[in-house]
Amino acid sequence: MATIYSHKDNNIRNTWILMLTFFIVVIAFGWVISTYFGNPSLLYVAVIISILMNIGSYWFSDKVVIKMTGAKLVERNHYPELWNSLENLSITAGLPMPKLYIIEDNAPNAFATGRNPEHSAVAVTTGLLKILNKTELEGVLAHELSHIGNRDMLIGTVVVVLVGFVAILSDIFLRSAQFGGNNKEGNKIQAIAFIAGIILAIFAPLIARLIHFAISRKREFLADASGVLLTRYPEGLATALQKISAYVGPMQRPSHATAHLFISDPFDTEDKKGFFTFIDKAFSTHPPVKERVSALLGNKV
């Protein structure tokens, strides 16, 4: 029977398989472009721009996300029970306590952000506090702490760099293809590279996004499993996820840029509509709640 331990190991392995696939897509695209144009300097420029942009966003990610979500910093005397729960779980996890934020929103949700455990934050909505009991809330907090402990922001940043890199390469190729390549090895190789480049320029950004979403879903499964290992009570998080998914309606300030950070899709999709098609699942940053609950409780997915 599958357990939270096997799910954790499987999702760590699957995440790195997806990352490797991502790198292969990027390398293949880069090779085609360099072959066609015979000018590797274009790749170097694209890499430098993409890395600089995304390192900047990673370095200031916590401040940007907090601003976008409208979260407000709180102290112990504002929400003592919530504060104590987060503090105790942080000690158990061996992590410094993140800054605690509250979002005034009836939709139950939560997220974690920060470039490392020393510069991290956890935010929960007022709607979440209204519907969850203590053990359920601890399950959610443990899930968010697991994102911090698992360095998901780092992995997410690497993925964003790769997605941005693919998008830049695609744009460079499509805009420059009209001027022809500089390959000196013959028109045949150049023609093959051109056809491959056009195909990759069209489909590579889509493939990159799909892999990005797949990695996000794997990290959610991993944070669920890691959170349960922290609380030793899978029913708490499982029940919390069921209650969260039962809420109908999106958050007040949903954003596609931050959607993957939340414990539940802030756009009110998937399970709440009663169905989850293959296309919906492929383009979602979150796995279906039923699958997450089944994995937490040790049932076959």
Q: In the chain, which stretches have pLDDT less than 70? A: 1-12, 14-15, 18-19, 22, 25-27, 29-30, 42-43, 45-47, 49-51, 53-54, 57-58, 154, 157-158, 160-162, 164-165, 169, 172, 175-194, 196-197, 200, 257, 268-283, 299-301
Q: Are the CB atoms for 36 and 232 separated by under 8 Å?
A: no
- Give the length of the chain: 301
What pLDDT sits at residue 187?
59
What pLDDT sits at residue 265?
84
Q: Are the CB atoms for 244 and 97 separated by under 8 Å?
A: no
Structure-token pair, residue 184: 């000196």
What pLDDT sits at residue 15?
63
Establish whether 144 is a catalytic residue. yes
CA distance 98 to 112: 9
276 closest CA partner among 289, 266, 264: 289
CA distance 148 to 141: 11
Element (H, E) at 163: helix 152-176
CA distance 94 to 91: 5
What pLDDT sits at residue 21?
73
pTM reported for the whole predicted model? 0.76
Per annotation, catalytic residue among 87, 118, 138, 144? 144
239 closest CA partner among 111, 141, 147, 140: 140
